[in-house]
Structure 1
């Protein structure tokens, strides 16, 4: 595993290169994070810029199905063979879906990366999408959707995104039971509609960018056609929107979200407020939100962020017994509005920067998925990285961000007792 200092430097200076195709440069993006440790685990991922935000009205849920078709039967290898080969070599196969990307990953010993790159290359370019496989894929998709629907925090996140963005980033990650995806051909056509070099990135850990580029250059991925797909509409933050979902529960969850200028600023604002990742064991800390939480035993108040290629949000999550939800929200909003008009001390600024940097580096260093997320988030957007944005932060810029962000009107979503859930206009 890379040390935090070296990982920070790697991500800060790492840029995507393009693999050669037929003597020309195509736009498949390639990046690797190399390590000198001989027995370290490595990974290779194919990132397809085909997440749920790109679905059209008649395709709702298709990205979820595309994720579920990962590592199934392809032209040269059956799904059983892929799984069996991975088991024999101690590798792990995973498929992930975000609002912007579908990510197929193989985690393995780094000396096995070339072997498994061939598997993932063949799977990505030659999946058969057999009609008889659709029933099993459909069962998997509906099971995952059912599990998500039973988790109030997942429902809250889905509803909040829908309230904020409506379409695009507001599209659900999960296919509904009543979706219109009724054949594998629809999934195949969705992949084909965006399967160009500009919408593909190859990520690797335990391998250098140069070595990974050489593998890509001799693969089918290097022959992908150039050409950009239809660009999605720019994301728009709909301030004042709210969605409230009723449930029979004595506990309620309420989220307020504000528009942030970029990912680093969103994280700084979150750490300034007080994040859910406590920095002091057995203590809620000394942040503004922790002071609110300490006034209401049995409730939690914390910040969160979500960042995408063209939008970032910083939010506050309140989880509380339904009977005292309004009181907790009133205190939270009062605290946040007061912060918008107050002066930030150098100590508070330093704490926010240090916590934001540690959150970012620690989450990447501790998990392979964190590394993939950090790299994938910049694959199809601005080359300016989180670290670069964080390094340019200053007390005056944070002060201005606090004032402009927390004096603006938020969006909201909730899951809980609807009769005890306040609307935005009653708490602002």
Structure 2
């Protein structure tokens, strides 16, 4: 009764609640003059500059009340040596420890006092130290962030306590079969650099010393290997802060060796009934023209459900597996790009008794695409989905910061979302088929986890 009563009240609403306008809303009103303040609040383009010591600065003033800054460093796990395996994981955990001029307690309280937060993530290529706060306190946050990156203390008792957190994080992460499979996949595919894992191996837990951590930071945390990115920060303000924090720093750091893709297989038999398996070839590196074709191919094959708890029947890979096995199984395309290499292939999840059928069907479908057996409408759908994902992914400050920093750090330039969409539109069916041919003819790598009694070996695919 309450709802119906509301409906009657709304039905008798005053006509003054409605208006009719004959001028298209997409056109500016000619009789209204824009104020000078409104002109100043227009979003600006990404501005990239470089200090004399080699530090690259990228800033975007979008007039957001919240500012986000990040320091990207070419010091990911691929830079670890044989005696330093897992040290980037330790640095990630030790990021909130004492730095020169500020104890761990003072650091945490000071960041909380300005309404900020700190987040440290790492990939095989980079370490990212990022934080956000209200834009009035951005200088304070940059000062704390700079001290964490440039002058960490690594006190012995704090490093010892980090070892316990290392073990806990590793155990939690490795409970997820996806993480185990992807870590083993990289170890099987590469002979050096990219074979290093993101999580500290068992035999290195508790082995890191303060001297090791200092040497790694001194060797790789150089301004020539860094990019400072600010979103919601005026370029002049960010440049001034960078000059104060990094102006006296020098060094170009040590470049990582070129990744050597070799191909291989890693099997992790256990009691889990669901078999997780990944079959890949060497893909494209970041920034090369072929990388976009691989990304479109990934969307065409399928990247999972687009709606929460929804199906993925728009995926050609899912449809092919369902047709071959007469049952719906989870499968998606896998694509990872690094600064000098990449991996592309398929990732399947299936019961152990159906693993062979599902994996063979997935690999066979990509080979059929390599023969040109793919509809034009599927190509267009994949391009549209990729364009939508690219634009929607830039709606959050965190995603925008990571995208800007990753591009500038690897390529030295930034491609805007609008330009990226135009490049996506230029991808043709021939480009997608060519990428699929690289998978069909390339040397394969495979990793599998679960009850593997019915899982084929790599040479049987």
Q: TM-score, normalised by structure 2?
A: 0.82
The answer to which structure, 1 or 2, has the higher relative contact order (CA under 8 A, 6+ apart) is 1
Displacement of 1:111 in angstroms is 2.3
Aligned positions of 1:33-182 closer than 5 A = 33-37=60-64, 39=65, 41-179=66-204, 181-182=207-208
Displacement of 1:156 in angstroms is 0.6
Displacement of 1:151 in angstroms is 1.3
Contact 2:55 2:226 in 1 (8 A): yes
The answer to whether the aligner puts 1:268 opposite 2:303 as a matched pair is no
1:346 to 1:421, Cα distance in 2 relative to 1, 3 A? closer
For residues 96 and 193 of structure 1, what CA distance do their matches in structure 2 show?
19
The answer to whether the aligner puts 1:401 opposite 2:427 as a matched pair is no
Q: Which residue of 2 aligns with 1:253?
A: 276
1:319 to 1:119, Cα distance in 2 relative to 1, 3 A? same
Secondary structure of 2:59's partner?
Answer: strand
For residues 460 and 75 of structure 2, what CA distance do their matches in structure 1 show?
39
1:361 to 372, 391, 398: 391
Contact 1:266 1:312 in 2 (8 A): no
Q: Which residue of 2 aligns with 1:324?
A: 354
Displacement of 1:344 in angstroms is 4.6
Q: Which residue of 2 aligns with 1:223?
A: 248
Secondary structure of 2:75's partner?
Answer: coil
For residues 437 and 329 of structure 2, what CA distance do their matches in structure 1 show?
27
For residues 59 and 106 of structure 1, what CA distance do their matches in structure 2 show?
27
Displacement of 1:90 in angstroms is 2.4
Secondary structure of 1:75's partner?
Answer: coil
The answer to whether the aligner puts 1:233 opposite 2:252 as a matched pair is no
Displacement of 1:226 in angstroms is 2.9
Secondary structure of 2:202's partner?
Answer: coil
Structure 2 residue runs of 5 or longer lacking an equivalent are: 1-42, 285-289
Q: Deviations over 1:339-397 (max 9, x none)?
A: 1102554433322222122223323324x432232123223322465655664443133
For residues 66 and 274 of structure 1, what CA distance do their matches in structure 2 show?
35
1:277 to 1:27, Cα distance in 2 relative to 1, 3 A? farther
For residues 169 and 66 of structure 1, what CA distance do their matches in structure 2 show?
18
Q: Which residue of 2 aligns with 1:347?
A: 377
For residues 162 and 308 of structure 2, what CA distance do their matches in structure 1 show?
44
For residues 280 and 245 of structure 1, what CA distance do their matches in structure 2 show?
30
For residues 329 and 373 of structure 2, what CA distance do their matches in structure 1 show?
28
Displacement of 1:104 in angstroms is 1.4
1:143 to 1:196, Cα distance in 2 relative to 1, 3 A? same
Q: Which residue of 2 aligns with 1:412?
A: 446
For residues 274 and 77 of structure 2, what CA distance do their matches in structure 1 show?
30
Q: Deviations over 1:297-322 (max 9, x none)?
A: 46201112211111222221100111
Secondary structure of 2:204's partner?
Answer: coil
1:97 to 1:198, Cα distance in 2 relative to 1, 3 A? same
Moved more, 295-304 or 196-205: 295-304
Contact 1:163 1:411 in 2 (8 A): yes
1:322 to 1:86, Cα distance in 2 relative to 1, 3 A? same
Secondary structure of 2:92's partner?
Answer: helix
Contact 2:225 2:252 in 1 (8 A): no
Moved more, 148-157 or 206-215: 206-215
Displacement of 1:55 in angstroms is 0.4
Displacement of 1:328 in angstroms is 0.7
The answer to whether the aligner puts 1:205 opposite 2:231 as a matched pair is yes
Contact 2:300 2:382 in 1 (8 A): yes
Aligned positions of 1:299-310 closer than 5 A = 299-310=329-340
For residues 279 and 264 of structure 1, what CA distance do their matches in structure 2 show?
24
Q: Which residue of 1 aligns with 2:317?
A: 289
The answer to whether the aligner puts 1:373 opposite 2:402 as a matched pair is yes
Secondary structure of 1:166's partner?
Answer: coil
Q: TM-score, normalised by structure 1?
A: 0.88
For residues 319 and 251 of structure 2, what CA distance do their matches in structure 1 show?
54
CA RMSD of aligned residues (A): 2.3
1:30 to 51, 57, 65: 57
Contact 1:31 1:208 in 2 (8 A): no
Contact 2:322 2:328 in 1 (8 A): no
